[in-house]
Amino acid sequence: MKAARVTDVLQESEHVWTVRFDLEGSALPGQFAMLWVPGGEEMPMGLSYIDWGSKGATFKVVGDGTMALSKLKPGACLGTKGPLGRGYAIKGADIIAIAGGTGIASLAPAIELAVSGGKRVTVVLGAKSAGEMLFEKRLKRLSVNLQLATDDGSLGKKGFATDIAQRLVEKGGYDQMLACGPEPMLARAARMAEEFGIESQCSVERHMKCGLGLCGACALGGARVCVEGPVFVGKALLSMPDFGKRRLAPSGKVISF
């Protein structure tokens, strides 16, 4: 584990924060890191910023660990392990990215890489309400076709991100689909991609303890999400019986989506 210095802590919405920290080295869009606040446990966090000397993680406060992470101050010491896992592989010339909630944290670096490489990118960004929409300004600075959706209709179109994506995909022209968000959303996106003959990659979240493929806590369909994932080809995910249907809680209890 390496020690990193916290450079910035930003509140993105009522419950979502971004922590930026100094960490040299390369990272692929979609990879994650294990972060450790002294006195707590290691936590897996998708990297929302992957610059050479500066990394970042965007997360929702859901417990003591993420609360402690959100309360760090610039200059604080943060333990890091990574980058880890398999990231997105950008392919094709015309890409559609579908993000639900904090899923845009994983996708934002991939979108930026695709745009810098001259790809045409459509981003469908979904949230429960306008107050929970993330990275809207960050994406508007890029040359992307940005489509917004909220469950309550308070911003953009009313409905789910996959509803808008379905209408766009039906018009044709996309070479690749990238998706990150709640697993039922990912399952619908992967099925949509298969129906229209589009290569898809989805970032899946599972409970991770070690981040190195040793404990098996994050197993999904015989794969270790922390090693063979978190980004998987959609077609492979659709062959996994648990995908989009159930997961294991930290206690080992089976939870249905």
Query: What is the residue-averaged pLDDT of the chain?
Result: 92
One domain for residues 217 and 152: yes
One domain for residues 80 and 100: no
In a domain, 197, yes or no: yes
One domain for residues 116 and 229: yes
pLDDT reported for residue 135: 97
CATH of residue 19's domain is: 2.40.30.10
Q: Classify strands 246-248 and 254-256 as parallel, antiparallel or unpaired.
A: antiparallel
Domain that holds residue 167: 94-256
CATH of residue 165's domain is: 3.40.50.80
- What is the pLDDT averaged over residues 208-212? 81
pLDDT in tens, 6-22: 999 999 999 999 999 99
One domain for residues 196 and 72: no
In a domain, 130, yes or no: yes
In this structure, what token pair is assigned to residue 254?
A: 């089976």
Q: Identify the band that residue 251 occupies on the pLDDT scale cut at 50, 70 and 90.
A: low
One domain for residues 46 and 134: no
Q: Identify the band that residue 180 occupies on the pLDDT scale cut at 50, 70 and 90.
A: very high
Q: Classify strands 77-84 and 94-100 as parallel, antiparallel or unpaired.
A: unpaired
Closest CA to 181 of 99, 122, 106, 88: 99
Which domain-ending residue is among 21, 56, 84? 84
How far apart, in whole angstroms, are the C-alpha atoms of residue 120 and residue 112? 11
Domain count, the chain: 2
One domain for residues 65 and 155: no
In a domain, 210, yes or no: yes
pLDDT in tens, 101-153: 999 999 999 999 999 999 999 999 999 999 999 999 999 999 999 999 999 99
Contact 169, 147 (CB under 8 A): no
One domain for residues 99 and 222: yes
Question: φ and ψ at 142, to 5 degrees?
Answer: -100, 160
Lowest mean pLDDT among 82-86, 95-99, 203-207, 208-212: 208-212
In a domain, 89, yes or no: no
